[in-house]
A = this chain, B = another copy of it.
Amino acid sequence: MTAAIDFYFDFSSPYAYFAARRIEQLAAAHGRTVNWHPVLVAALTQSTGTPLAVTVPVKWHYVNLDMQRVAAADNIPFQLPPGFPKLMLEPGRAMLWIRETHGADKAAKFARTCFQVYFGDGIDLADADVVAGIGASLGIDRAALLEGMASSAIKQQFKQGGAVAVEQGVFGVPFVIADDEPFWGYDRLALLERKLASAVLR
């Protein structure tokens, strides 16, 4: 049993955004740290044969309502950005490069800022310039980030991370694994908290 819990997310997921706002504080309250893992949810759900909600009209109608409702209940600034949903390659790759070059804390801060910019402010995030601008706002060299996130090594690492997630049993986002126990969905954070409160760290 380690102090770290694993948090899997896709920058295109509103519920992952909701979870990303709380996960660090929730973990820290129980002496835990968070490993942030960007993945592409489309690759995960493909592994289970489940169509994404956005592709099923009756489900999308419901989810659209539910997201607004959950955000309102939890006082989370939220809007669906124009062109939603998009395949979030750029921020995921950028985050991995930042982790390699600036460390995990800076990368997690970058991820939280990306979520805020996308769902809080409604600014398109599937855009290398926007992503580079977010990096720059955190003191990261813009040109180096643009080059790094486009490198084949980082692209490969992002792809590989998704494959590892599937191997770990991750089939949706947000997804947390704590001491081998899986938690799927923003609405399972209360159960995660219950688990962390009762777990004994060795």
Contact = CB atoms under 8 A, between A and B. Distances in A.
A51 B56 CA distance: 13
Interface in A175-196: 181-182, 184-185, 187-188, 191, 194
Contact of A48 (B56, B66, B169, B181): B56
A58 B191 contact: no
A174 to B, nearest CB: 14
A73 B65 CA distance: 27
A50 interface: yes
Copies held by the complex: 2
A169 B73 contact: no
Which interface class (under 10, 10 to 19, 20 to 34, 35 or more) fits A?
20 to 34
A58 B48 contact: yes
A73 B184 contact: no
Interface string A58-99: 110110011001100100000000000000000000000000
A181 to B, nearest CB: 8
B58 A47 contact: yes
A49 interface: yes
Contact of A50 (B50, B69, B171, B188): B50
8 contacts: A47-B58, A49-B56, A50-B51, A58-B169, A58-B171, A61-B169, A66-B184, A73-B191
Interface of A: 47-51, 56, 58-59, 61-62, 65-66, 69-70, 73, 169, 171, 181-182, 184-185, 187-188, 191, 194
Closest 3 CB pairs of A and B: A187-B187, A48-B56, A49-B51
Given A62-B169, A62-B171, A70-B191, 10 more contacts: A49-B51, A49-B56, A50-B51, A61-B169, A62-B184, A65-B182, A66-B188, A69-B191, A73-B194, A185-B187
